[in-house]
Every structure is written in C-alpha cells, then in structure tokens.
Amino acid sequence: MKMDVLLGLQWGDEGKGKVVDYLAPAYEMVARFQGGPNAGHTLEFDGIKHVLHQIPSGIFRKNIHNIIGNGVVLDPVVLKKEIEALKKFNIDFKKNLAISKKATIILPTHKLLDAAYEKSKGDKKIGSTLKGIGPTYQDKVGRVALRVGDMLAPDFKEKYLELSDRHRSILEYYQYKLNDLPSLEAEFFDAVTFFKSLNLVETEFEVNAALKSGKKVLAEGAQGSLLDIDFGSYPFVTSSSTMTAGACTGLGVPPAAIGEVFGIFKAYCTRVGSGPFPTELFDEDGEKMRKEGNEFGSTTGRPRRCGWLDLPALKYSIMINGVSQLFMMKADVLNDFEEIKVCTGYELPDGSTTDRLFPSGNDESFKPIYKTLNGWHCNLNEVEQYKDFPDALKNYVEFLEKHLEVPINMVSVGPDRKKTILK
C-alpha cells in the first residue's frame, strides 16, 4: 500500500484540516510529519469550530490511528492543553494517538529565544509566530536538542538544564528579560509528567507496518509549500520541509511508498507575516476577502494579507511536490465579486514576461499579469453537487485546470464538512 500525502500549496492556511477530516474515513491512519504549534488546522462540524495545533486532524474519527511523527517539533504544554480540551469528545488518546520518541521538544527558553531574535531584527522581522519553532529546529540541526524519548530518561532534568543554560547565555547577550521563565518552566515540567502517560513509541515502525499490512495511510502537512525552508520565499519561511519529500523524512517512509499527492489551495491567496506577495491587494477587494473569509490566523489571530490567485506560484508548488490531485478551498468567499482576477505571469523591469515564480528573488521588482474572469455573484449555500455550480464557477475551475494541468477534484464552498463538493 502507498501512503498518500496532503499538503498546502500556498503560504499556509489553505484549509488542510477540513480536507483531512473529510477524507479521514477512507484511511486507517493519519500522520503529521512536520511543523509544530505554529500550525492551526481548523475543522468545523455539527456547528462547532475546532482548531488543532499539533494533533493530527483525524483525531475526531474513532477508528483512525493518529501519528505525530519525528519531523514535528512538539510543545508539551500546548499538547496537554489540546488533549484536555478534547476530553468532552471521549477520545481514547492512549489508543488513538502515538507520538514519536524522535520528535523534538520545544523548551520554554526556545520561545524566549524566538521573541529575542525577532525583536533584534527590527523592521526586517520575518513575522514569526513566536512559538519557539525556529530555535527548536536550530537546536535539532545543531544536534543539541532534546527529544520526546529524553523525557523518559532519569537524567532528563539535567539534560534540560544543560540546554536551557546555553539558551540563557544567548538571551543575556540580547539583554532579554527572563521574568516569565519560572512560571513557564513550572508549566513545562507539569506537562512533561503528563506526557509520560501518553503512547510514546518509534512511530516509523508503526507507519511502515501499517503500509506493509495494506492499511491506508494519509500524511498531513502543516504550513504551506511556499513556506518551505528550501523552496519557499526565503528567508520569510518556516523552519521545516513542508513539501512531499518532508513526509518521507518526517515519518521515516521511503520515497517509493508515496502514492497520491493532494494539493490544497484557496480560490485566492493569503499570507500571514512578512515576505513577498505579488498579488496582494490593498484595496476594498482585499478587505472584502479578509472579511468574507474570516482571514485571521488560527494560531496568532493576526489579520491575513489577501490577494488574487497566483498561478506561477501554484504551478511551482505542483512541480516540486508532484501533485496528482487539487482541492480548491473557500470558493464561497468570492461569491460577491462581479469580476475575479487570476495572475498568469509576471512582467519584468526590462519589459519581458515569465510564468516562473519570483523571477527576481524577493525584491518584487516585477508586476503580476492578470486575466479577468466573470464572477458567479451568487450564494452557494444550497449547492450540493458540482453539476449545480453556476457556470461562472465551473468556468473558473476549468480555467485553472487548463493552466495547472492537474485535475481539481474537490471544491469547498463553506467551512462545514457538508460544504465539500466532489467533482
């Protein structure tokens, strides 16, 4: 059996959580392979909205085994709070959730370092979520980080103090105050005690055993492809590999085991934090997208930057990920637009054109070239089948398919599970 991969193709916030929840009944295992509590996967069903930060989005399905893989950086405090918030759903976390012993732990001092680094950048800050993600991945690559398995060791406290002392010296250099550290540490060690009651295992064996036995596995990514540490809009990126290849290293699965690659994108574009955004809107249309789409970060609450769909960016993400199917989210947000624009390429300073992403780096010395399409200008609340879509929406889907050369097999027209239309 092959492992399918689901990931975002833009700058994150594409609606991956909803799609994982929708697809989950077809799978027996859902595995998260990278990122940390800087991700916010929003699911909505039975009129209730749920935001998950570290737990895989298959957790609400009782027959699915959920995996937090080695590529994830875990905040024990956040995970403890997430689990406690889900107690009312009678989820058996000992049975339905397994956490890799190789996953890296976010320490309280990692969060302080994140804040200190961001503050030191001044106007050049990258827009970090300040969850400690970057400093934790730095320690992982520097081979000094602590991992989930270390929490089971009798000398864990000594290991913690050794690493946190290293962090303290850096914080002293930045003259960053440590007033909050005692309370953060108390909360952290309380969460560590709680962690020991969970199912901590070598998850790479579980995932590969599931595949070998013929079970269907879905790998769930966080953030988006344009935030990838290598191929995103560097340096305004996250600290992990957000693409298909990251599913292999983040779960311990060989490349030959990858099956379908589901690429998720919004019918328009959004971005949180700093960095290039060629189609960003600063007018009434951008504000309308933000309002209609409730475009505020599910992790940070920050207003998202909004703009028209960027096809060069989408084509790039499709290429580096090997996307085989596309799912378009939030089509309903564009319901009230008379006209809808799509960026099909860029005009360079010398007058030439290209359809390659970021042709001149991050300096944005190029202009998007737009194709204008008719909007559907109607409510989609009553639509339950693709054949009932207004012609303008069908034309929009077909236009995108023609340019992207990958089928769009699902269109979301609302946040609820039921508002997911298969093509």
Residues marked as catalytic: 13, 41
Length of the chain: 423
Contacts of 207 (CB under 8 A, 6+ apart): 3, 29, 31, 67, 69, 217, 251, 252, 253
- What are the helix and strand counts (H, E) for the chain? 12, 20
Quick one: which of 239, 26, 8, 11 has its CA closest to 113? 239
Nearby residues of 235 by Cβ (< 8 Å), 6 or more positions away: 126
Three-class DSSP category at 220? strand
The tokens for 398 are: 């077909």
Q: How far apart are CA 354 and CA 342, in angstroms?
A: 15
Query: For residue 235, is the peptide bond before it cis, meaning its omega torsion is within 30 degrees of 0?
Result: yes
CA dist list (Å): 310 to 17, 44, 147, 228, 376: 22, 27, 39, 17, 19
| Angle formed by the axes of helices 108-121 and 133-141, nearest 10° | 110
CA distance linking residue 309 with residue 331, whole number of Å: 11
